[in-house]
Amino acid sequence: MNRNTISPPGFDQQLKDALRPGAAPDDLRRSLLGAAGKRGSHWKWQALGIAALLMVFLGGGTWGWVAHWRGQEGVRLSRVAIQRYMETPHMDFIVEASGPSSLEQSRQWSSKAVGFSALLPECLASLAVQGGCACDMDACRAACYFLRDGRAIYVFDRALRGLPSGSDQPRRLAFEGHRAQAWNENGRGYVLVEPPGWGGQS
């Protein structure tokens, strides 16, 4: 072999040249881009469908949870009433022995203090009130009356969701030794809280 003869490139160089990317033919490039565009729009519709289904499921679940939570309003506020009773809140007013009846004094005080006439429920109308305080609870107002027998009755400005009507079949709850009975009557919610060991003493 003389020096003027050109030797063939080495194997590595031949392989590199063969694998070097080049421009795709125009017709192949156009058909690939068209197929990708069609598939992309198909995937967009599928993604939108999945997102819509998720919104329906999540929305339905959220609505169900909200409905359940709202339906438990009476139970939640009964627990709050028990906790407030346990904290022994101060009385905003004390019934005067020389004034009108305790029920009339309570009615007059509640109209000014909480903005509505918070009458005792029929089953407690004959009991004497010692005093009371105003309560602000979860988007509703309430008056709390401390009865002379040691119990407290919370009178809400509206009926509470999830409670039965009438005091004959109240919703009963217990929390840290305290008991509560809750019901709706004449458009108002009532929660009667009893201290531990209360047995009807007067």
Q: Is residue 16 part of a domain?
A: no
Inter-helix orientation angle 26-71/73-86, to 10°: 60
The pLDDT assigned to 79 comes to: 93
CATH, residue 147: 3.30.200
| pLDDT tens digits along 107-132 | 999 999 999 999 999 999 999 999 99
Task: Count up the domains in the chain and report the number.
Answer: 2
Question: How would you write 56-113 as a 3-class SS string?
Answer: HHHHHHHHHHHHHHHHCHHHHHHHHHHHHHHCCCCCCEECCCCCCCHHHHHHHHHHHH
| pLDDT tens digits along 86-108 | 997 789 899 998 878 888 999 99
Q: Is residue 149 part of a domain?
A: yes
Instruction: For residue 72, name the pLDDT band (cuts at 50, 70, 90).
Output: confident
- Do residue 43 and residue 95 come from a single domain? no
Residue with tokens 């590595």: 12
At 132, phi and psi to the nearest 5?
-165, 175
Evaluate if pTM is beyond 0.75. no
- Do residue 127 and residue 59 come from a single domain? no
